[in-house]
Structure 1
């Protein structure tokens, strides 16, 4: 079985790349160990973050660093036995988070973010899954004036620099739109231009179904069997193609290592759990509890609570302590009912130390392409990444400048 290209990875990035290549007349094979949308793309907060022009930076203040060093913070935890291995990545991440560097990085990052909603809307309409995109925006809620003032100043800066839309709500305005939240909250920031996805896994599956509808082929197979020229073993037999795209998210380093590539990719793990709602309570927007670092989102399965960051080895056993820590606080924020899931879900966010994804051709192999490292914004940036990769591979003018995301910036 021969194709023009093989796309490795059935998450939002890989599926989006496959769709855009297939739309441009290439015959495309999409390969993953599971059905599309069943790993990292399944368990996120469901946000398409049009406001996310500044990628999440490493804290630089001494007080904040000392706070996290205790390993008791609800929003960031770490496995001590992984710190030596992660130290080079964290050091580079910290350096790139200097305000001047972070601002420069954001100017490149914003070129992708600018198109995140429109590219999703176009793809969702073509795939017939527009009903999964909820134009409600999302909110950051506040318990302290200090945090409210800090976040408002940041939002005002984003508006000046990148025309990011936001609305500042006082306590009465917040109660009007979210009457079942804790009435002691001081207020919220609402980002109306962002979009909420009520079932991220179903959205990716819908995009994948559209990919097959327009002639693409999906295969169950192991991306780590990729070999030069380009061949992959699948359950239906060996397939080959003139080109290949590695879009396997947190497993991308395993795929490219066998070809001699060592890129600084690290993992931020996270957890979620679904809950019912007590007494017909209703949550109308995803809400981020800024002080405690968790998100509540009204998913189709129930109210999803997603945790912050856990630094650990990618293959380390689950340690969903953050979920247990923030659950009582989440219950005080919103009247959550019983847990719905049998056990917490865990996902892995693939991160680079400069907070920019890796998008572009490999340095030493002809017709090999990379598309991974999207950290917290994989769902947000999937379709625009797919379009950018497809435009580069087919020799067309690109919607955005691909140079900041090139692979060789780490060499």
Structure 2
């Protein structure tokens, strides 16, 4: 039986581990904490079937100026952290040019269209149907100009990719979400996506499924991974763990982990926050307030308000600027009472400058495989990209073109 060590038990690591297991591999999953306690826990819980094009960096000077002076809330810069981000951001800006972004989107769309079916299969196998909410999510726009632009983009995505959406007037939005105290200029309802009432619980359910199928989860650090003959070994606290292959699925920690092996991955690290709120009434589906760059999502723990991207010093403490703005804006749409937590959760989205995850074998180390850099869509893409990785590791014909995701591009 072929064997693998998977480092990282978030959605990306679990997606890879489950698909390898289905192909007859013996898999040990290693994480320093419980499965899915990092970014796979803290997101807005949307499996985004509509996200066929990754988020490009703004290239027009007005948008960049708005970010620079803090006039927008979807991106927040701690300017003392600029030197930590400037190199990857310049590459991100380069790949965000319209022609390059269009090419990237073709590769991205090829795998994102499999994201929901892969989750649906695992949700059923894990017995986690109670966590899943079909019906999509909505994007509210506060002024007519923004709404018209969004409607035109929705039609473009329908034409190019077949993405289903519905244009909602303020009255239609109010009828669908009577708890809203304001409906702006209406909303785009992305109908095909699903949402999850507890992302951490879904990740735990996948980990339990992995265990029931014979997999092992070990709480250990990954730092001792070394090449041993024709395979790989981790010197864990309970003894050595050996396998013929190792998968690095450590999210934002992957580049630092791989640097001693000679790999340089210029990752764009986007921090995000959330906090749960009490309220007399809530929304039935997740709602993105486009003008203020946050999502409010109904969760088992309350209404979760999640932020956009913050660029801060790595390992710095929490900055409440972006979340406070989001919570004030949410209070204009819903009757919020009080937060459940005094301090917010925060984590880091691991984004690659070309907006595509890194999926494939290490160029200079046989049996070492990479599976990270999923950006805003790690929760969405983990099972689908895990399938691609497992197919490549098993010598199968990939179900989507693999070259755009190959590590050798860096």
Query: Which category describes the TM-score, using the shorter chain as reference length?
Result: over 0.9
Given that 2:67 and 2:77 are in contact with CA atoms closer than 8 Å, whether structure 1 keeps it comes out as no
Counterpart residue number, 2:129: 130
Counterpart residue number, 2:19: 20
CA distance change for structure 1 residues 3 and 320 in 2, over 3 Å: closer, same or farther? farther
Give secondary structure in 2 for the equivalent of 1:104. Answer: helix
Given that 1:267 and 1:313 are in contact with CA atoms closer than 8 Å, whether structure 2 keeps it comes out as no
Counterpart residue number, 2:227: 228
Q: Which segment is superposed worse, 129-138 or 67-76?
A: 67-76
Counterpart residue number, 1:56: 55
User: Deviation string for 1:306-329 (max 9, x for gaps)?
Assistant: 011101232122212111122111
CA distance change for structure 1 residues 184 and 299 in 2, over 3 Å: closer, same or farther? closer
Residues of 2 paired with 1:232 and 1:116: CA distance?
31
Deviation at 1:3, TM superposition (A): 7.4
Counterpart residue number, 1:394: 394
Residues of 1 paired with 2:81 and 2:286: CA distance?
32
Matched, 1:189 2:188: yes
Q: How do residues 5-404 of structure 1 correspond to structure 2 at under 5 angstroms?
A: 5-229=4-228, 230-278=232-280, 281-404=281-404
Given that 2:223 and 2:257 are in contact with CA atoms closer than 8 Å, whether structure 1 keeps it comes out as yes
User: Deviation string for 1:75-108 (max 9, x for gaps)?
Assistant: 2111212212311111111111111111111000
Give secondary structure in 1 for the equivalent of 2:234. Answer: strand
Give secondary structure in 1 for the equivalent of 2:244. Answer: strand
Given that 1:219 and 1:235 are in contact with CA atoms closer than 8 Å, whether structure 2 keeps it comes out as no
Gaps of 5+ in 1: none
User: Deviation string for 1:41-74 (max 9, x for gaps)?
Assistant: 0000101111101101101111111111113422
Given that 2:131 and 2:202 are in contact with CA atoms closer than 8 Å, whether structure 1 keeps it comes out as yes
Give secondary structure in 2 for the equivalent of 1:22. Answer: helix
Deviation at 1:139, TM superposition (A): 0.3
Residues of 1 paired with 2:328 and 2:61: CA distance?
28
Deviation at 1:397, TM superposition (A): 1.6
Give secondary structure in 1 for the equivalent of 2:323. Answer: helix
Residues of 2 paired with 1:184 and 1:114: CA distance?
30
Q: Which segment is superposed worse, 70-79 or 235-244?
A: 70-79
TM-score by length of 1: 0.97
User: Deviation string for 1:237-267 (max 9, x for gaps)?
Assistant: 2211110000010111122112111111121
Gaps of 5+ in 2: none
Q: Which segment is superposed worse, 374-383 or 319-328?
A: 319-328
Give secondary structure in 1 for the equivalent of 2:226. Answer: coil
Given that 1:141 and 1:289 are in contact with CA atoms closer than 8 Å, whether structure 2 keeps it comes out as yes
Residues of 2 paired with 1:295 and 1:157: CA distance?
23
Given that 2:305 and 2:326 are in contact with CA atoms closer than 8 Å, whether structure 1 keeps it comes out as no
Given that 1:224 and 1:254 are in contact with CA atoms closer than 8 Å, whether structure 2 keeps it comes out as no
Residues of 2 paired with 1:19 and 1:91: CA distance?
36
Residues of 2 paired with 1:318 and 1:282: CA distance?
27
Give secondary structure in 1 for the equivalent of 2:261. Answer: coil
Residues of 1 paired with 2:235 and 2:169: CA distance?
57
Residues of 2 paired with 1:10 and 1:184: CA distance?
39
Deviation at 1:151, TM superposition (A): 1.2
Q: How many residues align?
A: 407
Give secondary structure in 2 for the equivalent of 1:150. Answer: helix
Given that 1:314 and 1:348 are in contact with CA atoms closer than 8 Å, whether structure 2 keeps it comes out as no
Given that 1:6 and 1:28 are in contact with CA atoms closer than 8 Å, whether structure 2 keeps it comes out as yes
